[in-house]
Structure 1
Amino acid sequence: MGYQLVNLLGGLLIVTSTMVVISKSIKVAIRWYAVQSLILVGLLATLGNVTGASELLMWAVSAFVTKVVLVPLILSYAYRKMGEPSDLGLSSGIKPAWTICLIAVEVAICFAVVTQIKLPTAEVATPALAISFAHFFVGLSCIITQRNIMKQIFGYCLMENGSHVTLALLAPTAPEIVETGIATDAIFAVIIMSVVVLKIWRTYQSLDSHDLSDLKG
């Protein structure tokens, strides 16, 4: 029952990732990311209870502070500084329906790969492990297909969430300092990227990557 819940939460992770990518508003994307991070906390706590790894319970607490609270606050602050015009008139490089199909293909490929891995975790949590791997490609797809550079930050965040799940599934007893280090790096990365985006907005009044031709070398 425990691993079934882990797999269910993994499924919800990919659903929320899809919503983050296809959201047309930065504000909505931030909310979906916060929801995903809350699901990640639940997954870590459930996995910690199933495996008896107290380290994962500390990971869950750390993830709540950094991912559910701090990262959305940082992104929301940047968005408030720019206002709603920052996400108007921009569209993805591909249509939402094609984005959903692309994510489905990425998950299917990762699922096929995971079924070939001979590890205890891969046998009992195949869907969750496949989805954690797929998050790297989902995040990369978000970075590549989104014209709004603020939305591209979410691609990095999705990749980072996927790495957390992968690490938790494959090394549940890893020291808390490992997770803390990853989370701290992520927060500083989001802060730096948000500052850069704010400076671009104040200079060009646009977050459309197609308008930033002056940045080309």
Structure 2
Amino acid sequence: MELPFPIAEPPEPEQAEAARKLFAGPVEFLKGVVAMPGLPPADRIEVCFAGRSNVGKSSLINALTGRKAIARASNTPGRTQEINFFTLGDERYLVDLPGYGFANAPVAVVEKWQRLLKQYLSGRPTLRRAFVLIDARHGIKAVDEEIMSLLDSAAVTFQVVLTKADKINATTLEKTLAQTRKRLQNHTAAFPELILTSSEKGDGIPTLRATIAALI
């Protein structure tokens, strides 16, 4: 019997190359947004990356774009304090959302981030998919479930991307996959494939690039 939420297959060579060229082309930081009126015009499709603080969002965006510091990586949880927009070619935005959950910041600041995050996810008409990043070492936590439920209610399709998959052995990975699949069955907006990645080793990066390139 086929498993629910299988791991996405690698793209065909021509798809992988087209996606590689897209991400090797112009990718520019556009702006950081701290309130909804600051959002750029909804004039192109966009995908966003959400995840707990220190899950590896910045490192993943850097790996996708082949740039070392287009999204500033940091070992300090909660360093991303705004919604960061990047242009991908002429037709797409990549959006780096504030890390949710624990953050090394005052409570009032964290609460402001969370409000902005929820407003964005609930009201952005050009948002085609949210990629919810889950640390493969830890699996889905309660705070991840909150974001997934918000995406369910907003009818925004989301796809789980497991990060840091190279940091654990095969047995631990299977446990994480089983837990993730079980949790996702409760979420109506969950896209029915998982993507396994390692930003350090490049695992899964072509698959994620091709997935984004195919969204029109």
| TM norm structure 2 | 0.28
Q: Higher strand proportion, which one?
A: 2
- Bigger radius of gyration: 1
When you count helix as a share of all residues, which structure comes out higher? 1
